[in-house]
Amino acid sequence: MKMKMVVIDDEILVRRGVISSVDWDREGIEIAGEAADGRSGLEMIRQVQPDLVLTDIKMPYMDGLEMIKAVRTDYPHIRFVILSVLEDFQTVREALKLGAVDYMNKFMVEPDEMLQSVLRIKDSMLPMQPSSFHPHNTAKPEPKAANSEWIEWLQGEEREEPDRFIRQGDRFAVVVLELRDEARTGLRVHADAVKAAFEQTLGHGVELQCRFIAQDQPRWIVLCRSAHDKVRAAKLLVEGVTAWHRSCGGAFHVGISAVFTDTASRTEAYEQAQSALSLIFYRGDGICVYTPERPTSNSAPRFMELFALKQYLLQLEGHDDEAAEKAFHELFPERLDVSVAQGAVVDAAHAWVSSVILLLKDWGGELPASMRQESLYEHVHGKGTYSELREWSYYLHQLVRETLSELKAATHRSEIQRAIEYIKAHYQESIRVQDVAQYVHLSDNYFSNVFTKETGKTFSQYVQEIRVEKAKELLRGGKLEWFEVGELVGMDNPKYFSKVFKKHTGSTPIRFTTTPK
């Protein structure tokens, strides 16, 4: 069956180039249509319901972001690839957050590169029945698999058919598949499609045999057997499940038991698979293999202590990028202890989101429009694993950090300009960095760093240059002794004045006055 693809771009040459530069039909891909703007593109998508859309972002009537949002609402299975230009990357990043799976520079991509990208997407698509995706599908739900005897067998009862499936000498394991939240993945699947894809990926009876023994969406239970030794059987199972999981776009969470040799351990295997599934949040990239729990100390570790959060916020608005990065990783460690309750992690992440948004508002900033249209708290609650939550939080951290840097740069330019004006008005006095920092309402160290960054000179160097320039003007007038000039520009010590003047001009004050102008 061919994959249907449409091309949407307001430049006809781009559309023609995409369509004609590759023999799509030979690759099993049907060009189902093309459109020149987001509005007509949306109508076409609704009519032909393609599998893949190649689209521009900046288009008349309706831009690509609006179109993607509308499509994702009604047809969440449709995939998008962005046709971008280099300057559009910020907007492309927003499209990727909306669910686009790839992007290409439409003026630089080679036909073969474009083809390979589309073929990768085609290969990754889980076989589905299109009707199962439609948001208004009113078909009756699929009946539960009539395999109650298998469940009873897993729970320890003796049953004839399951006993025949596990042969003498076989190794076996239990796998539990759970479809992720439909609202988060946009997927509604048929049990037959899941079963077919799983069995196709893991093989047919040569090294590993799998049997679906129960299905009650969103959960499937699979019994797998192998004639290989335990180590080989476990390796085959994990590799096969990982390949299948990747092929369906991570739409499932998977719990896998240890490999057993004695059917008397089947209940333990079933419990292990369910236990592994419950640990997906902590260990997960979507798959968790059961391992015995290590004993934990009586004092369970806490996640995101209040003191650590306060320290993080200080570093987030500070000038040290490495310190801010380190503070984030201390708040969100790479690995989470399973003794920390998932609810506590989610609650702490909510508090963190509130804190960084308030900090951003204190600086007069806000998030990009695309993120303001979504609930950040739903994002936090919707992450199925800690690694996903951490990855999303790191993205938000970087975004806030960049926004704060831009806001501070604008603020600093104003503050440093005020400091320069103060120096020029008070260069005759004894000027200390502390006085000027207080004048512009910044801490001493912070002001010194910002001043050097903005002017390219230290505070002391800048003040000296102002004083020397004023001294040169007065010396050229010829009405004052050189040491009197030093006093007038804020350097009372003649020896110090002469040293500083020579450092900046290459000449002593006396020689400067006697040198022909």
pLDDT of residue 465: 93
Rounded to two decimals, the pTM is 0.48
Q: Among 445, 350, 448, 364, which residue's Cα sits nearest to residue 392? A: 350
Percent of the chain with pLDDT over 70: 84
pLDDT of residue 163: 77
Other C-beta atoms closer than 10 Å to the C-beta of 299 total: 7
* Token reading at 85: 């230009």
**pLDDT beyond 50 at 146:** no
pLDDT of residue 461: 93
pLDDT band at 350 (very low <50, low <70, confident <90, very high): confident
| CA 165 remoteness from chain centre | 44
Instruction: Please enumerate in sequence order all residues whose Cβ is within 8 A of that of 326, keeping only pairs 6 or more positions apart, or say none.
Output: 315
Q: Is 331 exposed, middle or buried (0-12, 13-18, 19+ CB in 10 A)?
A: buried
3-class secondary structure, 99: coil
CB 19 within 8 A of CB 32: no
Q: Is 207 exposed, middle or buried (0-12, 13-18, 19+ CB in 10 A)?
A: middle
CA dihedral 436, 442, 445, 446 (to 10 degrees): -130
Percent of the chain with pLDDT over 90: 22
Transcribe 37-92 into DSSP letters: SHHHHHHHHHHH--SEEEE-SS-SSS-HHHHHHHHHHH-TT-EEEEEE-GGGHHHH
Q: Average pLDDT in the 410-416 region? A: 76
**pLDDT beyond 80 at 515:** no
Q: How far apart are CA 41 and CA 55, in angstroms?
A: 9
Scanning the structure block, which residue is given the tokens 């004894």?
430
**450-462 burial by CB neighbour count: b if 16+ within 10 A, else e?**
bbeebeeeebeeb
At the fourth CATH level, the homologous superfamily of domain 148-289 is Reverse transcriptase/Diguanylate cyclase domain (3.30.70.270)
* Token reading at 220: 């499937």
pLDDT band at 130 (very low <50, low <70, confident <90, very high): very low
pLDDT of residue 324: 92
Instruction: Please enumerate in sequence order all residues whose Cβ is within 8 A of that of 50, keeping only pairs 6 or more positions apart, or say none.
Output: 4, 5, 6, 32, 33, 78
Chain segment 34-62, per-residue pLDDT in tens: 998 888 889 889 888 898 999 988 888 88
CB 318 within 8 A of CB 421: no
Q: How far apart are CA 143 and CA 313, in angstroms?
A: 52
Residue type, position 448, single letter = S
Chain segment 230-274, per-residue pLDDT in tens: 898 888 888 888 888 877 767 788 999 999 988 888 899 999 998
When mean pLDDT is compared across 131-135, 398-402, 479-483, the lowest value belongs to 131-135
**pLDDT beyond 50 at 9:** yes
Contacts 24+ apart (CB under 8 A), 146-152: 147/212, 147/213, 147/214, 147/215, 148/214, 150/213, 150/214, 150/221, 150/223, 151/213, 151/214, 151/221
Q: How far apart are CA 278 and CA 385, in angstroms?
A: 10
3-class secondary structure, 384: coil
Q: How far apart are CA 138 and CA 154, in angstroms?
A: 34
Chain segment 90-118, per-residue pLDDT in tens: 666 677 667 677 778 777 778 888 888 88
Domain 412-514: state its class.
mainly alpha
Q: Among 191, 182, 184, which residue's Cα sits nearest to residue 221? A: 191
Q: Does domain 3-125 bear CATH number 3.40.50.2300?
A: yes
Other C-beta atoms closer than 10 Å to the C-beta of 242 total: 15
Pairing of β 52-55 and β 79-84 = parallel
Q: How far apart are CA 367 and CA 307, in angstroms?
A: 25
pLDDT of residue 397: 92
pLDDT band at 394 (very low <50, low <70, confident <90, very high): very high
Pairing of β 29-35 and β 3-8 = parallel
Average pLDDT, the chain: 81
pLDDT of residue 184: 41
Pairing of β 252-256 and β 52-55 = unpaired
**pLDDT beyond 70 at 287:** yes
Question: Alpha carbon of 304 to those of 293, 301, 330, 346, 399: distances in Å?
Answer: 23, 10, 8, 11, 20
CB 455 within 8 A of CB 416: yes
Chain segment 298-334, per-residue pLDDT in tens: 555 678 888 889 999 999 988 788 899 999 999 999 8
**pLDDT beyond 60 at 297:** no
Chain segment 492-505, per-residue pLDDT in tens: 899 999 999 999 99
pLDDT of residue 134: 35
**pLDDT beyond 50 at 389:** yes
